[in-house]
Chains A and B, each alone.
Chain A
Amino acid sequence: MKTDNTGSMPGDRRAPMLRRPFFWIIALVIVAFAIVPAVGNNVELRESLLLATVYITLASNLNLMLGYAGYINFGSIVFFGLGGYISVYLISAEGWPLAAAEFAAGAAVSLLALFFGLGILRLRGAFFALATIGINEGVEAFVSNFEPWGGSAGLYLSTTIFAPLGGPMRALWIIYFLLVAVMGASLYLSYAVKTSKFGLGLMAIGQNEDAAGVLGVPAPLYKAIAYSLSAFLPALAGGLYFFKGAFIQPPDAFDLSLSTEAMVIVMLGGRGTITGAAIGAYLYEELRGFLLTSQSFSNFQLVISGVLLLVIVLFVPGGLMGWIYGRWPRVKQVLE
């Protein structure tokens, strides 16, 4: 990285948060997400942006592992699904209010991730990736057989559940704004991690784990913390998403294709970049909308994701942001 001594250049990582342009760019994106569909009560746009917030949340949290630490997590959807299950269960069976159920779900999933993480992160590289596939299969099999959570039939919420939020119409808007907040928190989390010493340690692990260890980066601990950190916000998003649908069952909660899509998004936008994860998620959401509505392609969504991923990995490993950085290096000073 280029260093300079003036101390207040835009984009300087030592500048106070509020004077960095990227901080305000994120704020602008969040405000735009919140205001644009609310003006004119545009429900259709809201539903499409709602999916985009979920994608951005999943992708930027996956980026903590995949982009920063260089560890593939094939099972990032586990956090989303488990978060959904725990909060839906707490709301339906225990009668908890939404906010309490959400935070309980987030905390429980993070703790679980820390526990899993300390175990499987002793495995390195490919073994870790394989173990995450196993975690996904294992958790799904567990939930499908777990009677209090309805087994393979899943859990339903009664229609009166939206009453405390002022009826279904208003509740859907509230959920949307909360999801935008979760997305914003994900972007800020990525940014905060990236500019911290912890983030630097993760990047070092991503480049050469042995060398990082020699230089005093506690690699297993850092990886476990990153894994756990990347679980919290997707769990919240899952809770909100399935609360909105008022219904959850194992194939939806642990849909492996969502994990895959998050990976395609991160690679499409550019591994390890925050802007890339956000733009990639938005682009992918648009592409997906197009594919699902088009007659000839609706069955081939998975195939197209696969081809897209293969082409990126083979020919543009830096993704969109890598390409932009290569062309206009100055962009790197503003967009992280």
Chain B
Amino acid sequence: MDGVLIGSVYGLAAMGLTLIWGVMNVVNLTHGAAIVAGMFALYLLTSGIDMPPYAALPLILVGGFLIGVALYWIAVHRMIGRPPLMILLSTFSVNLVVIGLGTAVWGTGLFNVAVALPGVTWRRYTFSGTHILAAVLTAIIAGSLYLFLYHTRLGKAVRAVANNREAAELVGIPTTRVLSLSFGLGVALAGAAGMLIATMFPFTVLSGDAYQLKSFVVTALGGLGNPAGALVGGVALGLVEGFAAQFMPVSWTLVIEFVLFVVVLIIFPRGVFAFKRS
């Protein structure tokens, strides 16, 4: 059951990835770096200026959005329309810069943000308070994303660009601005997911790669460019992890996840939980 709570946060991280993928057809390799940035933003805000942990969430969302928009203009905009290889390389190099800076400043030691929240006991299971709150906040963020995409004019524009960029351009949608907005949203979601993960588990500067891989697995499970599928995929991955942990050492989890990723991509290229989108 705990897998569902943790998995929903994986889903949140993957939503950021899948949004960027779906809207601009870009594989964002800065995703892991954004997750780590969220973790360290929480660490700095709580230990530096004694902010209550969950008050950092809106700050991280806004900061992540602004950084994401800036990143779009620096590393992504010139690459639109060039071979996909180039955009992989450019986002990868931004990832290197961020991780490199992080390693230089904080080293690769383990960090921990202590959050005191009472757990909830139901029958013979105990759920940790941070896990429950993380899942609830994920649900709220995912709900707002849904409202934004399906019930605002701007959200409609985002969906239009995802559907067909040229056609959207023709009917007068400022596609470049929509693209930078989506990239900002994607990075903000990744940062928020990183922050929520940091309230649950200890982390290092290098944690990003593992969570990035998880996000890709979730994205593959949920169908590319499909935020709702990402949430379901995340929960599924959380369950798989919880299940696998009973039989083998935790260090094998990554191997299992990777095998899952390849198998899913080959057998279900459209995703296992890919609902038909209207």
Contact = CB atoms under 8 A, between A and B. Distances in A.
A138 B260 CA distance: 11
Interface string A113-129: 00000011011011101
B97 interface: yes
A144 interface: yes
Contacts of A74: 92
Interface in B199-242: 209-210, 213, 216
B170 interface: no
A314 B27 CA distance: 17
B94 A306 contact: yes
Contacts of B93: 305-310, 313
B143 interface: no
Contacts of B97: 302-303, 306-307, 310
A67 B104 CA distance: 31
A294 to B, nearest CB: 14
Contacts of A302: 96-97, 99-100, 103-104
B258 A138 contact: yes
A189 interface: no
Nearest to B259: A138
Contacts of B88: 72, 126, 129
A317 interface: yes
Contact of B254 (A70, A138, A310): A138
Nearest to A300: B104
Interface in A118-162: 119-120, 122-123, 125-127, 129-131, 133-135, 137-138, 141-142, 144-145
Contacts of A129: 27, 88
A186 interface: no
Contacts of A310: 75, 90, 93-94, 97
A120 B99 contact: no
Contact size class for B?
35 or more
Contacts of B85: 66, 70-72, 125
Interface in A72-122: 72, 74, 119-120, 122
Nearest to A302: B100
Contacts, number: 115
Contacts of B82: 317
Contacts of A131: 258, 261-262, 265
Contacts of B100: 300-306
A145 B89 contact: no
Contacts of A133: 209, 213
Given A134-B262, A260-B96, A303-B97, A125 B90 contact: no
A204 B56 CA distance: 51
A4 to B, nearest CB: 30
B266 interface: yes
A289 B246 CA distance: 47
Interface string B95-124: 111011101100000000000000000000
B90 A303 contact: no
Contacts of B254: 137-138, 141
Pick from A66, A123, A130, A260 the residue with the most CB of B within 10 Å.
A130
Pick from A135, A301, A306 the residue with the most CB of B within 10 Å.
A306
Nearest to B95: A306
Given A129-B27, A144-B251, A70 B96 contact: no
Interface of A: 66, 70-72, 74, 119-120, 122-123, 125-127, 129-131, 133-135, 137-138, 141-142, 144-145, 256, 260, 263, 267, 299-310, 313-314, 317
21 contacts: A72-B85, A74-B92, A119-B266, A125-B84, A127-B265, A129-B27, A130-B216, A134-B213, A134-B262, A137-B254, A141-B255, A144-B251, A260-B92, A267-B89, A303-B104, A306-B97, A309-B89, A309-B96, A310-B90, A313-B86, A317-B86
Given A134-B258, A145-B251, A303-B104, 8 more contacts: A72-B89, A137-B210, A263-B89, A267-B89, A303-B97, A310-B94, A310-B97, A313-B79
Interface of B: 27, 75, 78-79, 82-86, 88-90, 92-97, 99-101, 103-104, 209-210, 213, 216, 249, 251-252, 254-255, 257-259, 261-262, 265-266
